[in-house]
Structure 1
Amino acid sequence: MNLPRLVFIAALSALPLAGALLPSCSSTSEAICIPQGPCECVEPADCGEAPPCQAYACLGTCKLYPLPKGKPCAAGVCDGAGECVACVDDSDCAGGHCDDATCYRCDDGEKNGLEEGVDCGGPCKACLGTHCLLSTDCQSGICSDNTCCTAYCAAICTECGPDGMCRNIEQLQYDDNECYFIDGHACNGEGKCALANGMPCVEDADCASFNCQGNPPFCMAF
């Protein structure tokens, strides 16, 4: 049995769309539907072609609604608000990351997106001089002294500095791997493990402070 047209329209107007009731529709003309105005329809096909990332619903008149977030479109994916964008999250960017609906890569030679340096930091691997646990954490592929570095700082009394370069440990400081205060040694600031203050010595060069004084002589502060 065919329902009268007004009953049919009223029934359609109560259908939920995207979790909410669309407003009731009233016929304005018998013209073919065009996007610029509320045109009468019987089914969505009467409404013509919808803009990218949108679709028509026929509720007496044509109503546009956005397609779901992440649905593929010509330029990338739908943002859920009716726009076609390059990305909505990192998974939409092969080998890169998404920021403000734009895909960026960690190997394009530029500082862009959420990067903290050129192709490093943020969603990319850590930049030189920043904290790391594993070499795989670092853009350089080297984690030394829990710092992303250009090389492994393996020499005694050396460490990776805040610029990501190996440097000598400061005078009278200690190398946790090889030069310990507990056994009476300290770094001399020139990449050598020497005697700490208070230790017996023979000459200035024996001491991390370069100051051997007294009788008997001991390493002393400057």
Structure 2
Amino acid sequence: MSIRIGDIAPNFHAETTNGPIDFHDWIGSSWVFFFSHPADFTPVCTTEMGRTSQLSDQFEARNVKPIGLSTDTVEEHKTWVLDVNDTQNTTLTFPIVADKDLKVSELYGMIHPNESTTAAVRSVFIIDPDKKVRLTLTYPMNVGRNFDEIIRVIDALQLGDAEKIATPADWRPGGKVIIPPSISNEQAKDIFPQGWDEIRPYLRVTDVNQA
């Protein structure tokens, strides 16, 4: 199954390390960082689970719930979490989906047969409170994710929703933002009273409150 930006994230019921969940009910009114792993007790996955846990305060500040997945059982996940906590100096509390039967992995297109028929690649789905998929990323099994980029894109998505803006290449919080071409100059006067710099008629940059 191919899941595209703007799609409603498919719902599922699954066992996790924090008990059974209905995914849409679990999302509630939060954003979600849903990410998959090839297997428990593997080195790259261990560092990524640990990094997600270490960033728990940053996710919480952005109203984001992390949830992991790998194609192992709840019992295996729980034993692995002890290793994650010990080796990554953290206390992992977010849920990890057990997907031994590959149902969720197949539903979300996480199984790439030319890579593996039984292990999920490193998929990322950023999902908003309306259950819409806002970003997808796929990493190969031997490359760990860039968590700075994951936090950055969540900031960009949330700022864009709040301020009706787009963000330029390599944008970081506090940087200039772009007024979308769909907003006319007349409309922009009300939305951006602080004004803007018009580099081209289609390229207007401004500052917004990014507190």
**TM-score of the pair, normalised by structure 1:** 0.25
Structure number with bigger Rg:
1
Q: Which has the higher helix share?
A: 2
Which structure is higher in RCO with an 8 Å CA cutoff and minimum separation 6?
2
